[in-house]
Amino acid sequence: MLDVIPLATYCFVMSITPGPNNVMVTASGVTFGYRRTIPHMLGISLGCGFQIVLVALGMGTVFELWPWLQDILRWAGAAYLAYLAWRLLRAGLVVGEAEGRARPLTFLEAAAFQFLNPKAWMIAVTTATVFLPKDLNPLLGSLYMALVLAIVNYPSISVWTLFGTAMRRLLGSDRLRQTFSIGLAVALVLTGAAMLWE
């Protein structure tokens, strides 16, 4: 029998708490608004779900065989966050022109980022280890967990995007938006740095 409540609770706590994805969707909400951030959010939710399926079907053993791969992913993720911080700074510093030239992350970019995101790996490994139903075959069990995560994750990260969108409205002047963008860029860099010392 499937016990959805513990899995959904875990997914909610991991999705709503601060991490690289939530900083990124907040920044996207400020810069582009909610509607233009939807593909980014869908990429996060479905990318994390796909990651859970892969781990539940055995990909997690790759890290047991070659633990140094985790270090490579950690450094690549930190570098990518630094790149996103630079993009955010560029968009924030030319606010008037940014709307036309800058663009939010695409669905595929956001989904691919999950494979560089240590928090997403932790969610996938923990979910597959703790919540994989024993009475289902591994494929159905992993699809069930991915579905629960996606259903819980999307509204959770939407809160962060809506926060960014609200800040976009509150930060009426270009100077305030630039200052907020700089703050979010710094948060991305600090998140990347924290990933390296985990």
The 10s digit of each residue's pLDDT in 33-67 is 999 999 999 999 999 999 999 999 887 666 677 77
Confidence band of 194 (pLDDT split at 50, 70, 90): confident
Residue scoring higher pLDDT (196 or 126):
126
Residue scoring higher pLDDT (7 or 73):
7
Looking at residue 118, what is its pLDDT?
82
Looking at residue 92, what is its pLDDT?
57
pLDDT digits (tens, 9 = 90+) for 133-142: 988 888 999 9
Inter-axis angle of helices 20-32 and 34-54, nearest 10: 160
Q: Which tokens in the block code for residue 16?
A: 């709503």
The alpha carbon of residue 147 and the mean position of all alpha carbons in its chain are separated, in whole angstroms, by 16
Looking at residue 38, what is its pLDDT?
98
pLDDT digits (tens, 9 = 90+) for 74-99: 788 788 878 878 877 776 554 444 44
Q: How far is Cα 122 from Cα 167, in angstroms, rounded to an integer? A: 30
Q: Could you say which DSSP state residue 106 is in?
A: P
Q: Are 119 and 19 in contact (CB under 8 A)?
A: yes
pLDDT digits (tens, 9 = 90+) for 97-122: 444 557 889 999 999 999 888 889 88
Where exactly are the structural domains of the chain? 4-76+104-171
> Is the model's pLDDT at 176 over the cut of 90?
no
Q: Which tokens in the block code for residue 135?
A: 């009475």
